[in-house]
Structure 1
Amino acid sequence: MAKSKTLILSLFIISLTLLLSSAIAAKQPRFSRMITPTSLGLKKEKLSHLHFYFHDILSGPKPTAVTVATAQMTNTSSTFFGMVNMADDPLTVGPEPESKLLGKAQGIYGAAAQQEVGLLMVMNFAFSEGKYNGSTLSMLGRNTPLSAVREMPIVGGSGLFRFARGYALANTHTFDLKTGNAVVEYNVYVFHY
C-alpha cells in the first residue's frame, strides 16, 4: 500500500511539473514553428528553364568585371590562384552585346584552384525583364571555365523565384585570350513557387 501511495504521489508530481512547464513555455516567445506553404500564399511548385548569355567584360573603357584582390603568388600562378573579381555583367537574350538585356549577373568570382583553372562563383542573377523583373536567382558553386560544360548549383532566389533550387549549365560561347572577355551561354533549371 505504501508503494502504491508513493507511485501515485510520483505520478502527480510528474504531471504537475509537465503542466507547469507547458504553461511557462506557452508564455515564452517562439523561435520557430511549422507552417504550410499555403499560409505564405505559395501555390504549386513549378520547374522553369531559363536561357541567357552572360557577358564578362574585363577590358575597354567600361569593364563589367574588375579584379579587386590578388595574392602575392597570383601573377606567377598558371591558374591565377588568389585572384578575386567583382562583376556586374549583362545578361542578354542572345550572344551579341547589343542583344536585349534581361538583367545582370552581380557578385564575385575567384580563382580557387592551384592545379587547374577553377573558380568559386558567388553570383546573383538579377532579372529586369518581363514577369521576372525584380526577381533573383542565387548561384554558388565551382566553375572550371576550360571545361566544355560546367554545372553549378542554384541555391535560392527571391520574388518569383522564392524557395528556388536547381542548377545552371554554363557553356563558353566566346573567349578572347588577349582581353579575357567572355560570353557564356547559361541554361538554368529551377524549381520554385
Structure 2
Amino acid sequence: MVRILLIVVFILSTSGVIRCARANDDDGHGFVRSLDPKLLSLKEEKLSHFRIYWHDITSGSNATSISVVRPSNISATGFGIINVIDDPLTLGPKLSSKLVGRAQGFYALSSQEELGLLMSMNFAFTEGKYNGSTITVLGRNPVFHKVREMPVIGGSGLFRFARGYVQARTHTLNMKTGDAIVEYNCYVLHY
C-alpha cells in the first residue's frame, strides 16, 4: 500500500500537479504575502495627541450608557455588570461644548477587588478632517486611580494601522447617578 502511494506521489510531482499547487506558495503559507507599504499609499508615520472629554450618562431619559447585564447578586464593586455605550466626545468638559465624536462599545465591571472596568470602545470621530475615522481602545480601567492608561489597538480612516495609548482622568463622577465626565489624552502613532 505504501509503495502504491509513493508511486502516485511520484507521478503527480513529475506531471506538475504538485509543483503547480506550490507555485503560489512562495513563503510556505499560501494565504500570506509581503507587501510594500507604498502600495497602500502609506506615508511617514506620525504621532498625534488630542484631548477629548467622554460623557458617560447612565441616568435620565437620554442615557448614553445602558446596562445590558446585571447579575442577580451585585457585589460592592458591581462585578459582572456590562454597559453598552454611545457616549458623546466633546472638546471641553461641558456637554454643551463642541461635539467631535462618539465613544461606542461597552464596558464590563470585571474586578472583584476594586471598581475596575474592561473597556472596549471605538472613538468614532465626526468632525473636521477626522470625520469617519476611528481609534479602538481596549484595556483595564481602575476607575478610582488618578490616571488610567489603556492601549490603542487599531483604527480606521486616517488612523489606519494606529497604535498608542490613552490616559483617562476623571473630571467629575456623580456617585448617586453614576454619570461621569472623563478627560482622555490620546497619543496615537498612525500614517
Q: Tell me the TM-score normalized by structure 2.
A: 0.87
1:191 is aligned to 2:150: no
Amino acid at match of 2:182: V
Q: Secondary structure of the residue that 1:168 maps to in structure 2?
A: strand
User: How many Å apart are 1:40 and its aligned residue?
Assistant: 0.8
Unaligned runs of 5+ in 2: 1-9
1:167 is aligned to 2:165: yes
User: How many Å apart are 1:73 and its aligned residue?
Assistant: 2.3
Corresponding residue of 2:70 = 70
* 1:73 and 1:81 in contact (8 A); partners too: no
Cα distance in 2 for residues equivalent to 1:79 and 1:96: 28
Cα distance in 2 for residues equivalent to 1:106 and 1:180: 18
Corresponding residue of 2:133 = 135
User: How many Å apart are 1:129 and its aligned residue?
Assistant: 0.4
Cα distance in 2 for residues equivalent to 1:62 and 1:170: 24
Corresponding residue of 1:51 = 51
Amino acid at match of 2:35: I
Which of 150, 156, 161 is the aligned partner of 2:154?
Answer: 156
Cα distance in 2 for residues equivalent to 1:125 and 1:145: 19
User: How many Å apart are 1:27 and its aligned residue?
Assistant: 5.4
Which of 60, 85, 88 is the aligned partner of 2:86?
Answer: 88
Question: What's the RMSD between the two structures over aligned residues?
Answer: 1.8
Amino acid at match of 2:149: E
* 1:92 and 1:103 in contact (8 A); partners too: yes
Q: Secondary structure of the residue that 1:122 maps to in structure 2?
A: strand
Cα distance in 2 for residues equivalent to 1:84 and 1:173: 22
Q: Secondary structure of the residue that 2:67 maps to in structure 1?
A: strand
Cα distance in 2 for residues equivalent to 1:31 and 1:122: 29
Q: How many residues align?
A: 176
